[in-house]
Structure 1
């Protein structure tokens, strides 16, 4: 019988002392920035976004600290149930989902609209980390070591792309690839796949994107490639985003002094385009400050991953950090016209219920990995395994 060895604090007080408080502080700074920007774009009004965002952040931070206290063997045991539970929720979206602006991505729970794709982002990382923890290293590049994780990625991706939600689908796939790579994939295999991918890109270019993407997605690609294409239609909002950020100059117009954001030049200012409002009011300095805080958060999380002894905690932390980094990169690249428009929010700053809670749950797991970094759970150990 395997013995669980854990040379980490077991007492709750000791675990709180061991918590990475600098990472917690950085996350709080982002949350405060989010509340401030939501207050500003509503015309110096706590309603309808800032008050709700603040309450969700409060609940999320409390939940984050609770999650961090659980030992890794608990999360190992919850990994597969969480994955299949999230998959079931995605199926429920197909049957009973709420349709908003042509997208069916939510389940209406009364006070909260649950977005299962956000839950899946965390559940997929948990399940893949558990899978590779149990898999012998020499079998990582075996058919089992590749096909099973690809199926784990493909099943939710197929459901999410049909909602339709291309941004989340790509983010989920990229996260899965990061974990596969970090699990110890052979460089020869990576080279082979890269060559095959390059051939695939050439094939898509020859065949034509218009035969693969939906029309609205193709319009977004055209808008990205040509800023002058349909300037009053599909390109209006991307161009306005750049104008709004540029109007802030070096130090911005000042808190509550933004005009572009308050006059309704951009849709969903409280979610996808909130970085433009921040750029208008706080300028280049404000934008760089947000990027610097995010860079510090990612550096801290990578440091946690490096310090972990177990494969499970290492892959879990790197997978969740990769997901977070993709959130930040895609959102800021989108509003800066560095990539086509996709619906990905800016973590902890953008308004949203499920997104805020899922991001903070992910950091709860990362903080827990830091506390239990010396833990070495045996293969196959867990609440259900």
Structure 2
């Protein structure tokens, strides 16, 4: 639990002097920036391999998005943390309206209605919501006393529960079970960091298990098939079990050192599906082996360590929760994608951060780590627990 700290003064007060741009740049965690660039570079290399040694169609576009994303990250990092505190709910509302718009007039692709087509760019609002949800929950829990959170009365937890469940419900209708689950898990981690007692999680978890038979009836046929395939992939090796069977074959064939860059047979002979998105870690393991996979895991672990340390060093509760929430969402992305392609959980379509091809996911993730950098830059900022949004 990351406990709140009580500061006096105005709701958006500051104990440190205003920082110049040069001072802010010195406060940026450049080691974290380097790690993110290293991971993204591995992603670009794997997209080059996925296209059989060509920069088109994936690597060139992803490289351009990376440059834009890094610029966005630095702009967000230079923004005063009080700005995000003041406009947290407005940011959430904007993301929620985008989700509503998707339900009305979104683009349909691969059987789901998840995108807004801007001709030159396709926006997936659910990725924006993952960041907006963290910002809004950090804002809400920042203004609460720890005793308000921990007391037995559930009333203080109703608003943040709605903040989580409303967008999760909209995403579930698209249908996108994986992203809806991600939103709920991110919300759960934020509740835990804010100090919600464990017995409340157990109670909600028990209620969720009890509701599984009802939820099964509302699931789409392909979602039920994914669960059944997870339990027994060999039951339909050429149908619903094909993806995970090929993924396991590719993993095993990579061995310790891999077959070599551009030399993966399962991927380059088109046995491995969606090798540029969902199953890109499988392709990496086949070509670079266990050593390559562990190297990527170590880079992710270092990013997580940086994020947690930045959260702990923040002198305000909003910054602590914000950095913890963004870092936790990265952990969930990595864990779910890798567990999915190894057959440990059902296939849910969660991308591997900075590795999988995808514009909105990369830009939203880098914006998220721009917020983490903003926490680092403003780590000495003291914020009161005011309820208003005045500045």
Q: Smaller-chain TM-score range?
A: over 0.9
**Residue 73 of structure 1 is aligned with which of 69, 82, 106?**
82
Root-mean-square deviation (Å):
1.7
Aligned residue for 1:133?
Answer: 142
Q: 1:256–1:84: structure 2 CA closer, same or farther, 3 Å change rule?
A: same
Unpaired runs of 5+ residues, structure 1, are none
Matches within 5 A, 1:14-93: 14-93=23-102
Answer with 12-21 or 162-171: which moved more: 12-21
Aligned residue for 2:287?
Answer: 281
Q: 1:381–1:16: structure 2 CA closer, same or farther, 3 Å change rule?
A: farther
Aligned residue for 2:233?
Answer: 227
Separation in structure 1 between the aligned mates of residue 355 and residue 172 of structure 2, nearest angstrom: 25
Answer with 373-382 or 300-309: which moved more: 373-382
Residue 379 (structure 1) aligned with residue 385 (structure 2):
yes
How far did 1:226 drift?
0.9
Q: Contact (CA 8 Å) 1:8, 1:372: kept in 2 or not?
A: no
Q: Contact (CA 8 Å) 2:143, 2:387: kept in 1 or not?
A: no
Aligned residue for 2:202?
Answer: 194
Q: 1:6–1:351: structure 2 CA closer, same or farther, 3 Å change rule?
A: farther
Matches within 5 A, 1:92-107: 92-107=101-116
How far did 1:268 drift?
1.7
Separation in structure 1 between the aligned mates of residue 299 and residue 15 of structure 2, nearest angstrom: 32
Runs of 4+ in 1 over 3 A off after TM superposition: 141-144, 207-210, 380-385
Answer with 53-62 or 141-150: which moved more: 141-150
Separation in structure 1 between the aligned mates of residue 215 and residue 190 of structure 2, nearest angstrom: 28
Separation in structure 2 between the aligned mates of residue 280 and residue 376 of structure 1, nearest angstrom: 49
Aligned residue for 2:221?
Answer: 215
Separation in structure 1 between the aligned mates of residue 328 and residue 111 of structure 2, nearest angstrom: 29
1:106 counterpart SS class: strand
How far did 1:266 drift?
2.4
Matches within 5 A, 1:131-170: 131-141=140-150, 142-170=153-181
Q: Contact (CA 8 Å) 2:272, 2:279: kept in 1 or not?
A: yes
Residue deviations 1:152-210 (CA, integer Å, cap 9, x gap): 01110110000000000011001111111111113xxx225415523642563xx4764
Q: 1:241–1:377: structure 2 CA closer, same or farther, 3 Å change rule?
A: same
**Residue 324 of structure 1 is aligned with which of 309, 330, 348?**
330
**Residue 181 of structure 1 is aligned with which of 188, 192, 215?**
192
2:386 counterpart SS class: coil
Residue 257 (structure 1) aligned with residue 263 (structure 2):
yes
Q: Contact (CA 8 Å) 1:8, 1:374: kept in 2 or not?
A: no
Answer with 220-229 or 333-342: which moved more: 220-229
Residue deviations 1:191-250 (CA, integer Å, cap 9, x gap): 25415523642563xx47642432211111111111211111000110101111211111
Q: Contact (CA 8 Å) 1:8, 1:375: kept in 2 or not?
A: no
How far did 1:18 drift?
1.7
When the two structures are superposed, what TM-score results if normalisation uses the length of structure 2?
A: 0.93
1:247 counterpart SS class: helix
2:115 counterpart SS class: strand
Aligned residue for 1:358?
Answer: 364
Residue deviations 1:66-115 (CA, integer Å, cap 9, x gap): 11011110111121111000000000001110000111000001111000
Separation in structure 1 between the aligned mates of residue 88 and residue 211 of structure 2, nearest angstrom: 37
Q: 1:224–1:115: structure 2 CA closer, same or farther, 3 Å change rule?
A: same
Aligned residue for 1:367?
Answer: 373
Answer with 130-139 or 65-74: which moved more: 130-139
Residue deviations 1:2-58 (CA, integer Å, cap 9, x gap): 262242660111111221111111100011001100011101100000000001001
Q: 1:58–1:377: structure 2 CA closer, same or farther, 3 Å change rule?
A: same
Q: Contact (CA 8 Å) 1:72, 1:377: kept in 2 or not?
A: no
The alignment covers a number of residue pairs equal to 380
Q: Contact (CA 8 Å) 1:73, 1:381: kept in 2 or not?
A: no
